[in-house]
Structure 1
Amino acid sequence: MSKPEFNSLNAIFINCTLEKSPRVSHTSRLIDVSKGIMERENVSVDEIRFIDHEVPPGEKPDMTEYGWENDEWPELFKRVMKADILVFATPIWLGDKSSVAKKLIERLDGMSDKTNEKGQAIY
């Protein structure tokens, strides 16, 4: 039996830590373990530390159209859409995800009405 090959897969990790780079966080350490497994299996891996980017809250594809001066989400979302695997990691306090993770979910939800060339939902 041949070993499965994963070299055609792309994964993206979105780190929802509250720690800006270059600070190490527990969340980044956990991501490193999972990334290492994927990289050993020849999966192409990308990573975004969400807090390092100017991404305002909101559910619109580009919040600059709604009064925000900057919004890196449109460019970050292109990276998300290139991936076959999306992993977002968050610290948990008192059973709840970080505010950064909540903002990521909000921004992902704002793209949920998008469709591909066949009219199918992109998610």
Structure 2
Amino acid sequence: MTVTVATKKAVIERDGGFCLMMLPGCLGEAQTAHHRANRGSGGSTILDDPANLCAVCVPCNGLAEDAGAIVRADLIRRGLRVEKAATNAMTLERAKATPVEAIDGQRFYLVSATERRHINEGRP
């Protein structure tokens, strides 16, 4: 699986069209999909699953991996960064189980490229 342009567009629409990270220099408008659990250099394409992707702007996408400890901890708290597990499959399951905080403070599970579920509705 690879992240297609159509998937990126669907993820951006699913997430409201706004950058969810809001790091310094944020453009506000999402332009791409960010891997919450980074694939790293040549990592497994299993992590291209839409449940592991969130809408971000290009500057925030670039800053996320180089973020300092405080910013990184906040991204983890908001579900925008998911730490690796023992295997890529376990990492994807961790991403699916981790809700994302939207810009209005509401929390959602990312179900697919087009669907997210409010945490009050329970896990998918």
Q: Mark the structure with the bigger radius of gyration.
A: 1
Higher RCO structure (Cα 8 Å, ≥6 apart): 1
* TM-score computed with the length of structure 2 as normaliser: 0.23
